[in-house]
Amino acid sequence: MDVREGKEKFIEAWGKMATEWGINRTMAQVHALLLISPDPLTADQVMADLDISRGNVNMNLRALMDWGLVHKQLKAGERKEYFFAEKDMWTVVRQIIIQRKKRELEPMLKVLDEVASVEENCPESKQFNEVVSDIRMFSHKANQTLDTLIKADSNWFTNIFLRMVR
């Protein structure tokens, strides 16, 4: 297979997977493009490569920087801004965990904690409390585990994987 075909397939698959995980397809494609590019790219290059508008590129590059997955690089003597993606996969995954945890898991935990104070005086409230308590414990455990994961280094992560499949 040649690089061009490989790149296309990869960018397409990365974008498709993203939509299944609630992430904008184009944002993921910009990310994929930068991931596999050996050098930083300008907004114009991304525009041309993915055939999308300047505004779209700008918005998605900013979003990717918010997620900590892409960084800006300024080249001496040039006015254009260059962008490159974090390439180390463990750092990428860690960054995604940090952001999704903060944006999604933590607000959910807050709601679960609030909602755990329902008084129990009928079958309806009994079932409700049981399920909420179950999900709540589960989520708090997941939260702790993710905190540990975030602090861990790449090797430790690999070790956990190995330990789990053993």
Sheet with 41-42, edge to edge strand ranges: 41-42, 81-85, 70-74
Of the candidate spans 2-10, 41-49, 111-119, 124-132, the one that interacts with DNA by CB under 7 A turns out to be 41-49
Packing angle of the helix pair 54-66, 43-50 (nearest 10 deg): 110
Binding mask 43-82 for a copy of itself (x = CB under 8 A): ----------------------------------------
Of the candidate spans 8-16, 49-57, 61-69, 71-79, the one that interacts with a copy of itself by CB under 8 A turns out to be 8-16
The verdict on 81 binding DNA (CB under 7 A) reads yes
The verdict on 122 binding a copy of itself (CB under 8 A) reads yes
Q: Are 44 and 61 in contact (CB under 8 A)?
A: no
Distance in angstroms (rounded) separating the CA atoms of residues 81 and 40: 9
Q: From the list DNA, a copy of itself, none, which binds 159 (C-beta under 5 to 8 Å, kind-based)?
A: none
SS (H, E, C) 101-159: HHHHHHHHHHHHHHHCCCCCCCHHHHHHHHHHHHHHHHHHHHHHHHHHHHHCCHHHHHH
Q: Which is nearer to DNA, 56 or 143 (CB)?
A: 56
Q: What are phi and psi of 74, to 5 degrees?
A: -105, 130
Distance in Å, CB of 20 to a copy of itself, minimum: 5
User: Binder to a copy of itself among 93, 102, 113, 150 (CB under 8 A)?
Assistant: 93
129: left (phi over 0), alpha (psi -120 to 50) or beta: alpha
Question: Rule CB under 8 A: which residues touch a copy of itself?
Answer: 1-3, 5-7, 9-10, 13, 17, 19-23, 35-39, 87-90, 93, 100, 103-104, 107-108, 111-112, 114-115, 117-119, 122-128, 130-132, 134-135, 138, 141-142, 144-145, 147-149, 158, 160-161, 164-165
